[in-house]
Amino acid sequence: MGPYKVLFLDIDGTILLPDDTVQESTKVAIRHVQEQGMEVFLATGRPLHEISELAEQLKVHSFIGYNGAYAIYNGKDILMQPIEPKTLDRLLTISRERNHEVVMYTNEENVLTGIDTSCMQQFIRIFHLKHNRVYDPKKQDPVLGMTLLNVSREDVAAYEACNGIHLASVNVGDLKAHAYDVIRDTTNKGIAVQQTLSYLGIEKEEAVAFGDGMNDKEMLKYVGVGIAMGNAHPDLLAYADDQTTSVECDGVSNGLKKLGLVPRIL
């Protein structure tokens, strides 16, 4: 396997195609590195309660979810970092003032500020969200992640004025025009990767990561080799060590072959 011991894979636009399937080449590549003893993590902005079927399909049992707020290694929690209540309240206030929709993710369900608007229905449909309820301020469960909908580029600065917050465009289909993940400077995929590697006793130089969206930039920066997909957001390339082909053209498989982690004939 050479110098690499762990592989972190984003989901949407990295291993998951626009039609919500996974290419056979990706499945074969993941299975091969697992058989060679490499640890594999799905590292996603998605809530972990919505990816169990995909995880079972790929036989992956370790995760970084909610853009780095929660990490699990083979069923054991490594970290959990909810959004601070005062930060959450500030973000919700801005969203109300600007008539934006919000999807909040707890450890068990998706909490929606509304459910009947076209943009929310589009988001639910694209990500196949199943565990949904409408936001009730009287029910204050810890929120691990947030996505903002119907947001213009001009609105981004209002949210980023909150200390320690920046937004990352959701790099999926029509959502690119108006959907943003809330990323915390102190809680993101990169920091979760750092803590995961420390837990496993693995050096950053022994880690590889693939991603396509701006919520992947910290993760690609932190590992030994960060690879951007061919369909990656253009701004992500500045944070990557290399670029592979697109998710629709065997991107993960080709990237792992280039690193010598998967045989070229496989």
Question: Model confidence over 88-119: pLDDT tens digits?
Answer: 999 999 999 999 999 999 999 999 999 989 99
pLDDT at position 2 is: 60
pLDDT interval class at 174 (50, 70, 90): confident
- 232: closest CA among 6, 30, 51, 14? 14
Q: What is the pLDDT of residue 99?
A: 95
Domains and CATH numbers, the chain: 6-81+187-258 (3.40.50.1000), 85-184 (3.30.1240.10)
pLDDT tens for each residue of 224-241: 999 999 999 999 999 999
pLDDT at residue number 140: 81
Mean pLDDT for the stretch of residues 12-21: 93
Read off the pLDDT of residues 187-209 as tens digits, 9 standing for 90 and up.
Answer: 999 999 999 999 999 999 999 99
| 20 has pLDDT over 70 | yes
The distance of Cα 7 from the centroid of its chain, to the nearest Å, equals: 14
Question: How far is it, in rounded angstroms, from Cα 208 to Cα 18?
Answer: 24
Distances from the Cα of 173 to the Cαs of 44, 80, 92, 125, in angstroms?
17, 30, 25, 12
Residue 141 has pLDDT above 90, yes or no: no
